[in-house]
Amino acid sequence: AKVWTLARQPKGEPTRDDFACKEEVLPLCEDGDVIVEAVCLSVDPYMRFKLCSISLNAAMMGEQIARVIESKNSEWPVGSHMLVYVGWRTHTYLSYTDLRDTDKSVQQLPDLGTLPKSLGLGILGMPGNTAYLAFLEVMHPKPGETVVVNAAAGAVGSIVVQLAKLAGCKVVAFAGSDEKVAWLKEVGINHAFNYKTVKVGDTLAQVAPENINIYFDNVGGKFTSEVLPHMATHGRMLVCGVISSYNDDMMSSAVISPLSEYMVMRKELIIKGFVIYSWKHRWESSFRQMKKWVDEGKIQYHETVVQGFSNMPYAFTGLFRGANTGKVVVVP
């Protein structure tokens, strides 16, 4: 078995050398236990700020879809698939107790029919649930409203823009390359822009002058300071992520948000934070609805598949270079 561990705390943007791959010998599979093999693994932006809470040489955290390859547990026969939070590992020993451990959050992979299993880490998993619940159930979009989304071709953003369109909203999407913008246009998002080659504020002044009703923010920082002046009075902002500051020391007073309190006051804005893990009780219903829309072709998905367990750090650091369109999954 192989496992990626944290070799040193990254300074700024993480690099390959911040991680080390180690060999592990697994215990024998005894009564009640199983051994699973990773089928695909997730890398996600939150891992960057979680790094400061794990010790050096500890295994990297994260979710994977795994197949049972050895079993002495009738609930988990060989060949069954699970979603499990065991980190960057090729193979994992799970005791009877581990299988009930809430930290490892072992659950059966829902039936995805003919869809790829990897979608259980993306549009039909945590990022899909985030988009669905944060946008539809927290922001309550209404037809005709104007919605702005950044990191709009990423795992969460690419779903939010399509949900906004389904809800009858006017969508303005920003992403970091012309290829991402082309993909957004392919899925019907006409107002899609490369924020690296246009000025966000000027673009909004043209396409949505002072009439943004919902700002779905995955990025934070300077981006937000450019969006706020264009918010409508009583506009709503959902703080989903702050990826532009994850490579800073998040706990340090040096990270001062450029969010303008003056704008919040003058435009009477409503700002809502969101953490998907507080919404676990709603995952099943959001999964059912998202699966239906994917099956009906109403929502499209894109995956960036990185081959090889040795490329886990590369897949992870790519999130900060904008290397992905849609959800990144690693196939070992």
- Residues forming contacts to ligand NDP in the complex (CB under 6 A) are 44-46, 127, 130, 151, 153-157, 175-177, 180, 218-219, 240-244, 274-276, 319-320, 322, 324
Q: How many CB atoms lie within 10 A of CB 28?
A: 9
Instruction: Please list, in sequence order, all residues whose beta carbon lies within 8 angstroms of the beta carbon of residue 206, skipping any fewer than 6 positions away.
Output: none
User: Closer to ligand NDP at the Cβ: 14 or 127?
Assistant: 127
Closest CA to 121 of 191, 18, 223, 41: 41
Structure tokens of 98?
A: 């581990």
Q: Shortest distance, CB of residue 218 to ligand NDP, whole angstroms?
A: 4
Instruction: Please list, in sequence order, all residues whose beta carbon lies within 8 angstroms of the beta carbon of residue 255, skipping any fewer than 6 positions away.
Output: 245, 248, 249
User: Closer to ligand NDP at the Cβ: 13 or 75?
Assistant: 13
Q: Shortest distance, CB of residue 250 to ligand NDP, whole angstroms?
A: 11
User: Closer to ligand NDP at the Cβ: 86 or 151?
Assistant: 151
User: Closer to ligand NDP at the Cβ: 68 or 242?
Assistant: 242
User: Closer to ligand NDP at the Cβ: 62 or 87?
Assistant: 62
Q: Shortest distance, CB of residue 200 to ligand NDP, whole angstroms?
A: 11
User: Closer to ligand NDP at the Cβ: 73 or 122?
Assistant: 122
Q: Shortest distance, CB of residue 273 to ligand NDP, whole angstroms?
A: 8
Instruction: Return the SS3 of 326.
Output: strand
- Are 238 and 218 in contact by the 8 Å Cβ rule? The answer is no
- Are 16 and 317 in contact by the 8 Å Cβ rule? The answer is yes
Closest CA to 87 of 66, 112, 108, 68: 66
Using CA atoms, how far apart are residues 328 and 306, in angstroms rounded to an integer? 7
Q: Shortest distance, CB of residue 239 to ligand NDP, whole angstroms?
A: 8
Q: Shortest distance, CB of residue 129 to ligand NDP, whole angstroms?
A: 8
Instruction: Please list, in sequence order, all residues whose beta carbon lies within 8 angstroms of the beta carbon of residue 32, skipping any fewer than 6 positions away.
Output: 72, 73, 95, 96, 99
